[in-house]
Structure 1
Amino acid sequence: MPHISAQDKHLTVLNLFTTDQPDKQDRLIQEMRKIVDTAAFDGWISSTVHAGQDSPGTANLIQWRSGEDLEKRYAGEEFKHRTLPVFQDITTSIRLLQSEIVYTQRHPSQGDTTEISPDRDDHTVIEIFTVAEGHQDELVAELGQGRSWLAEVPGYRSHSVFKGLRARFLDGPFAVVYSQWASKEDYDAHRNQADADKTEDRRKSEARIDALKTGSDWNSYRVIHTRGAGQ
């Protein structure tokens, strides 16, 4: 199964799609699985499909050997004339985000690596943060080491921070946080906690993130399918 590790030097691509109807999410998943199950692209390592939970949509976390390998895929006739048009027809937004993993943290109960797998029961949350030029590194650090306090939050399992490198359908610098939780209830309790009940470390961290970011959004997901090269 794929793992997220700050020691890995490959490219991580997060393809995020939103739609306005549950049946369109089902079609998105079908189309994504077709691609994943037949993938044999040079430099492709793995793909992991996620189904939206709080809002209709999908996410595909893809690991590539390099950006050059990915650009060959994007330049292909299949991607330009079939894959992209199909997804544009059934989505309300598309973001194709290229990034590098810079930080991972896990609760001690989660072992030595961050695994993403349909065999796990994680409530997964993906957050996208945009940031002004010159402040990306500071935001990435605050989202990572600056939120070490998450390890004390009930239901927290892990969070991984990706630094944005380049993107299609998203302008400007960005960062991505991929987090795993024991349940939706645990995550919602954390997200909706009253300010008066937050720790001092959390209040300081959130104030700094709010000052640095220019925008953010999130959705929750369930991992439903994965495949790697050689499978």
Structure 2
Amino acid sequence: MSYLRYVRLIGTMHVSPQSREEVIRTILSERPHAVAVELDRARFLAMGEERRLSLEESLRFGRRGLVNYVLAKVEEKLGEEFGMKPGEEMKAAISAAQLLGVPLYLIDEDIGVVLSKILAAPGREKLLMALEALSVFLPVKSGQFSDPMEDYRVMMLQFKRRYPYLYRVLVEERNEIMARNLISIVDELRRRGIRKPRVIAVVGLGHRPGIEHILNNVKLR
């Protein structure tokens, strides 16, 4: 019996209103023993801060600050296109867990470690990422995304081909970390006397298949 039996993963687009609604509906209807989200402590605390650093302020933190600024702008631009602030589905999961009174777990890798890995990317991938990042600051044509979920899957495949190193550290390695944390959550719930724990994990759409594969191949201890 694998750990996947006790964990249900909701794969979301971080800027999709449909994802937020699915998260709320699923958690409240299934009433799990625990909820897990694709966040680390730093990002969890930052979600309560409405103000983002300006480019000038970000540059004071060096290359890490610049990378963080560009990533934030990417999410902001997509949020404008889909009519939703980035991270709303994570906030919905947190609120639903609080409403049910069940534990909330942060299962993602520390953002500082993630940024260090990004900065260690090969020169070719850094240059390509810098060039493509320029398009983030250009207007996005309305109606460009006919099927957001399908477009997201295509974007992930393209990202894997163009950025093999970044795909490994941003997707595959984080899949392993989040799966390992979910295994620990199930084990903890069972130690507390819950024979058949139910855990709902809210993660990005691109992470769901990899995490499910890992959980399905680890036998229950």
TM-score normalised by the chain length of structure 2:
0.29
Higher helix share: 2
**Larger RCO of the pair (alpha carbons < 8 Å, separation 6+):** 2
Higher strand share: 1
